[in-house]
Amino acid sequence: MQLRIFSVYPADRLWSFWLDRQVDERQVANLDPETFQQSDWYDESGRFLVLVHFSNLLKDEHKERAAAIEKHWRDLDDGVRERVWWLVYSGTGYWDLVSTIPGVHYFRNPVSREWLSDDEKRHFRQFVSALEADEQIGATIWAKLYPTENVAAATLLALLTSSELTDIQPAINKLLAERRMESLARAHRQFAARVKQSPKTPPTLDFWVAALGEGNYSTVRDQLVEVLGAVPD
């Protein structure tokens, strides 16, 4: 699916670099609803992502302004509305504003002018890739911008990275026995990306991704056994 990305008012973030994609920068005065908030901005086919920085014109306490923005999205023509997403961000992040509609999102984390963490870049790129895919987009698309709150995976990851500091085997065994495998598979993927050294040859990231992509949990598990020792069934 063709996706066009705009960065508007003021276009002062490194979106093109961060997203690794073409981003068209547009200057838009104030909260002028005659611009990207009108259907005629989107007369081409395909999908549109608009990255909007309202600066101090839209802060957490500006509930009415947010409601007006959301109304403009709702007022887009049929056939346009479902192809358009407005991601509103700021230098401090939106703590309180929560959108009431699927096409507008107020990004919680701060976005600085010059810098975005690798982790955040990865999430933004995953989000954009999802918009480029042919699948229908649901309201949960925005969740791709944030890390998954997967406590089991994070716990396994923390255990694995503690292996040089303490005996993690009993805890690993207990965790593998108690937690669901997809959570653990995600942890393996994260772990693989972080492996720096191992007493044995560490599995490569490509290996983990390929194995997990096939849903071949037992292969991943066998590799884990090789790295860490015996793991119970």
Partner 1 sequence: MLPVLNTPGDSPEDSSRRAGLCLEDWSNEVAPRLDAALAMLPDCLLPGLLLRGWLDDKAVERIDTVTLNTVVGENLLLRNVATEIRGSAEGARSALGKYSSSPSNASRSQAFSKVMTLRIILQQSPKNVVLP
Taking the complex as a whole, the smallest distance from the CB of residue 75 to partner 1 amounts, in Å, to 29
Taking the complex as a whole, the smallest distance from the CB of residue 198 to partner 1 amounts, in Å, to 15
CA angle 63, 69, 71 (to 5 degrees): 100
Interface residue with partner 1, options 44, 46, 98, 115 (CB under 8 A): 115
In the Cβ-directed half-sphere of 175, how many Cα atoms lie within 13 Å?
20
Q: Are 78 and 39 in contact (CB under 8 A)?
A: no
Q: Are 42 and 85 in contact (CB under 8 A)?
A: no
Interface residue with partner 1, options 71, 95, 177, 215 (CB under 8 A): 95
Phi-psi region of 220 (alpha: psi -120 to 50; beta: other; left: phi over 0): alpha
Residues 1 to 60 in contact with partner 1, rule: CB under 8 A:
55-56
In whole angstroms, what is the distance from residue 157 CA to residue 65 CA? Answer: 42
Q: Are 141 and 130 in contact (CB under 8 A)?
A: yes
**Segment interacting with partner 1, rule: CB under 8 A, options 33-41, 75-83, 163-171, 200-208:** 163-171
Taking the complex as a whole, the smallest distance from the CB of residue 185 to partner 1 amounts, in Å, to 18
Is 193 an interacting residue with respect to partner 1 (CB under 8 A)?
A: no
In degrees and rounded to multiples of 5, residue 158 shows phi and psi of: -65, -40
Strands (E), 37-171: 47-53, 84-89, 104-106
Is 158 an interacting residue with respect to partner 1 (CB under 8 A)?
A: yes
Interface residue with partner 1, options 68, 141, 154, 181 (CB under 8 A): 154
Q: What is the dihedral sign for C-alpha 34, 36, 41, 45?
A: negative
**Segment interacting with partner 1, rule: CB under 8 A, options 29-37, 81-89, 106-114, 225-233:** 106-114
Is 143 an interacting residue with respect to partner 1 (CB under 8 A)?
A: no
**What 3-state class would DSSP assign to 26?**
strand
Is 138 an interacting residue with respect to partner 1 (CB under 8 A)?
A: no
**Segment interacting with partner 1, rule: CB under 8 A, options 40-48, 62-70, 164-172, 213-221:** 164-172
Contact residues toward partner 1 (CB under 8 A) are 55-56, 91-92, 95, 109-110, 112, 115, 117, 119, 147, 151, 154-155, 157-159, 161-162, 165-168, 171, 174-175, 194
